[in-house]
Amino acid sequence: MPLLPIDSEIEGANFGTFEMRELFSDGAYLQGMLDVEAALARAESRLGLVPTAASDAISAAAKVANLNLGYVAASTSTVGYPVIALVNELGRVAGDDAARYIHLGATTQDITDTSAVLQIRRAFSILHRDLVATARALGTLATRYRDTPIAGRTHLQQAVPISFGLKCAIWAAPLLAHLERLDQAARRVLVVQFGGAAGTIAPLGPHGVKVMEALALELNLGVPLGPWHSARDGFAEVASILAVICGSLGKIALDVSLLTQSEVAEVSEPHEEGRGSSSTMPQKRNPISSEYVIAAARGVHALAPLMLTAMIGDHERSTGAWQSERLALPECFVLTAGALRRVRSLAERLVVDPARMRANLDADGGLIMAEAVASALTAAVGRAAAHEAIERASLCAVRERKSLRQALLDDEKVRAQLSNVDIDRVLDPVNYLGAAGEFVDRVCAKIAELK
């Protein structure tokens, strides 16, 4: 049985996606290292350091299916890393003539780090795709409900009207920034690692830097200024970006959860037979997707600090710091992918109830429009007098359990400034959405530019 739910056949779909789990599976991990070893042989062959026949044999042999995985596992348990066994197995399959040229000038961390970079590149592509799809789905909601009023809530209490479209646009806006963050990080992180034992590539003599550059070209990766065995800021940045992405996804999920409460009921998650059911309360439809998004976000937020601590390593190869990255980074990616998939589904299929939104706006008898009334009065009597008048009317409405409209109609000082028509206009939430529509348009215009 798997120790972690993300690897479970039973619970795995709740916490991740098959696509991302497969990317960080043992098979993908080993194949990535084989790809690096093969690319290294080709790069060195182009520079005349490895015979073409040997390079071809190494590339042909570099397939996980050719490995004795039992031997690799046993060796890794003893050595601590799979690279020695992987090199031995690759040499066995490629043949003795080619085996002597495998891993030429490299060290274990060159292979594991560059393989991890290849995984990150593919993972970034997956996240980019789903972030774009989620932003577009939220943009569709924002456009559809651009002018649909809903109670804006601060401190869990109704504050002033906003539009549901604005809420969706505010959900979407950080996703646009996250796409920029991924693109910016890619330029820094998607670089080859090649430094040899302690960063000098001394066994390759004058060819070391040329081999590093040729290896980067083979793998379509960037060329770093130097080896980064002990400079782990790139991987720490990746984990931090994943944590920030999950923060935005978790905020959306929390808002959706609150909006689905029985007493609010302004939206609901997409319904499927049996989804979100309770074992004892058959009437319930729990916000199950939102719950797992929040759980995944909290998981990534707990793991990101481990990546940050891995930056603090000793000398040219740390004792335990960079090794801990293997504990955190794959899980961060899997949890982020799972959370993003769920939010994308929510955005594409969210059930929205504008009538309930309006009913909730009216539930307090119009008190949510107090600021709007004060704004209308300010032009006539000044801010202080307007504030005093609306506070008086609001207290009267609460004390006497009547609507704010009636309290305003009963207030002679207010009636001296606002007619019945004025009061009705000011109390309509549709007329007090301010720049909500403009903000929606600005966000949706940016979403429309996505590729």
Residue range 265-314, pLDDT digits in tens:
999 998 776 555 555 555 567 899 999 999 999 999 999 999 999 999 99
Rg of the chain over all Cα atoms, to the nearest angstrom: 30
Strands (E), 335-433: 351-352
Whole-structure pTM value: 0.92
How many Å apart are CA 294 and CA 145, to the nearest integer? Answer: 25
pLDDT (0 to 100) of residue 319: 86
48 Rama class: left (phi>0) / alpha (psi -120 to 50) / beta: left
Collect the ranges in the chain with pLDDT lower than 50.
Answer: none
- The CB density around residue 439, as the number of other CB atoms within 10 Å, is 19
Cβ 333 vs Cβ 121: under 8 Å: no
Nearest in space to 67 (alpha carbons), one of 16, 43, 98, 33: 33
pLDDT (0 to 100) of residue 322: 83
Residues marked active site are found at 278, 317
DSSP 155: T
pLDDT (0 to 100) of residue 352: 97
How many Å apart are CA 142 and CA 49, to the nearest integer? Answer: 59
pLDDT (0 to 100) of residue 371: 92
As given in the structure block, the two tokens for residue 219 are 């793998």
How many Å apart are CA 341 and CA 133, to the nearest integer? Answer: 10
State pLDDT tens for residues 188-244. Answer: 999 999 999 999 999 999 999 999 999 999 999 999 999 999 999 999 999 999 999
Helix axes 26-46, 69-79, angle to 10 degrees: 90
How many Å apart are CA 442 and CA 251, to the nearest integer? Answer: 21
